[in-house]
Amino acid sequence: MSSKNPTMRASILSRAGQVGVENIDVPQIDGDQVLVRVAAVGVCGSDVHYFQEGRIGDFVVDQPLILGHEASGTIVAVGSLISETRVGERVSIEPQRACRICEQCKNGRYNLCAAMEFYATPPIDGAFAEYVAIQADYAYPIPASMSLDAAALCEPLSVGIWANQKAHTRPGSRILIAGAGPIGIIITQVASAFGASEIIVSDPVADRRASAKRFGATRVIDPMVEDIATSGLEVDAFIDASGAAPAVRAGVMAVAPAGRIVLVGMGADDVELPVSRIQNRELELTGVFRYANTWPLAIELVSSGRVDLDALVTGRFGLDDVESALNAAGDPATLKAIVVP
């Protein structure tokens, strides 16, 4: 490392189960990028997976990696192509860089870009650091009324928006959500903001069912007590935020004819599905892989008060305590742990 370059502190995942703070170079920015002084970073389940297992599917940590992709901060420098007036802006970061020229990008599905560079997905470093670089149009200014914690959590909120858009949630919709972890709770809030008249949330943990009720669920179910598959719910859409195979199968059985199934939760690579049910009812099944074009709506939902992200924060940790933050994220009592670099 050259001593001529400014340095910063960053939490580095060196291998599964081992993180530590190191001094590294501050990112150099391209002409179309901005440098952001990081203020808050939410801890995601994917961060926990990388920490505990060193991989998620085909993405393997085979060299030191900075985790964290739910980020906000203040612009402190801009590239040669960006107006200096942006310095000082408080921003929410959409943590990805698409190629912008492939077929998926040109059709507005840039989340499916094969050349995507996404924070904290090997080998791209994330935001558990004092500074990050991002293309300027992926750094969204936030209103003065929005906290930097909430700005960081616009990333998981975008997952909730994308899932509800895939489910075609609208006024009067009846929605079943499996899993009342952080993403399930956010999906619940978005369903309510989109006007769903009935939002049923299933989770075997009592504390999480209670959280779902606080954040907009009209009904909660303990799937260990009530058989969702045979309960006659006949919902318009089922959104799985659990990744649990039994929950997915039961949810499929609860969808009304011509309804929709949206898979969000990370679980086994292969699960058994009731194919004849999907065929006979003409159910539409889709996955969710991140999001596209969601940030303006995310900021609007928060600033208008229709979604409360600040209330999700259950713990704050410094860079030296990232391991504690990652461990806390696995506690059912935790909704969102925030790292403050």
Residue 300 half-sphere exposure toward CB, CA atoms < 13 A: 8
**pLDDT tens, 94-107?**
999 999 999 999 99
Look at residue 57 in the predicted model and tell me its pLDDT.
83
The pTM of this model reads: 0.96
Look at residue 268 in the predicted model and tell me its pLDDT.
87
Nearest 5°: phi and psi at 151?
-60, -40
Please compute the mean of the pLDDT values over residues 200-221 and round it to a whole number.
97
Look at residue 331 in the predicted model and tell me its pLDDT.
82
Q: Under CATH, domain 7-153+309-340 is a member of which superfamily?
A: Medium-chain alcohol dehydrogenases, catalytic domain (3.90.180.10)
Is the pLDDT reported for residue 1 higher than 80?
A: no
Look at residue 14 in the predicted model and tell me its pLDDT.
95
Cα–Cα dist 37/73, whole Å = 5
Q: CA–CA distance from 96 to each of 134, 192, 248, 255, 309 (Å)?
A: 8, 28, 29, 34, 21
Look at residue 334 in the predicted model and tell me its pLDDT.
86
Please compute the mean of the pLDDT values over residues 61-86 and round it to a whole number.
98
pLDDT, the chain, mean: 96
Is the pLDDT reported for residue 68 higher than 90?
A: yes
Asked if the peptide bond before residue 123 counts as cis, ω within 30 degrees of 0, the response is yes
Cα–Cα dist 73/71, whole Å = 7
Assign domain 158-287 to its CATH architecture: 3-Layer(aba) Sandwich (3.40)
Nearest 5°: phi and psi at 194?
-80, -5
Count Cβ atoms within 10 A of the Cβ of residue 320 and give its class: 0-12 exposed, 13-18 middle, 19 or more buried.
Answer: exposed
Which contiguous run of DSSP H or E holds residue 15? Answer: strand 7-15
Give domain limits for the chain.
7-153+309-340, 158-287
Cα–Cα dist 230/223, whole Å = 11
Please compute the mean of the pLDDT values over residues 314-330 and round it to a whole number.
94
Q: CA–CA distance from 170 to each of 6, 51, 183, 301 (Å)?
A: 49, 37, 19, 15
Please compute the mean of the pLDDT values over residues 150-172 and round it to a whole number.
98
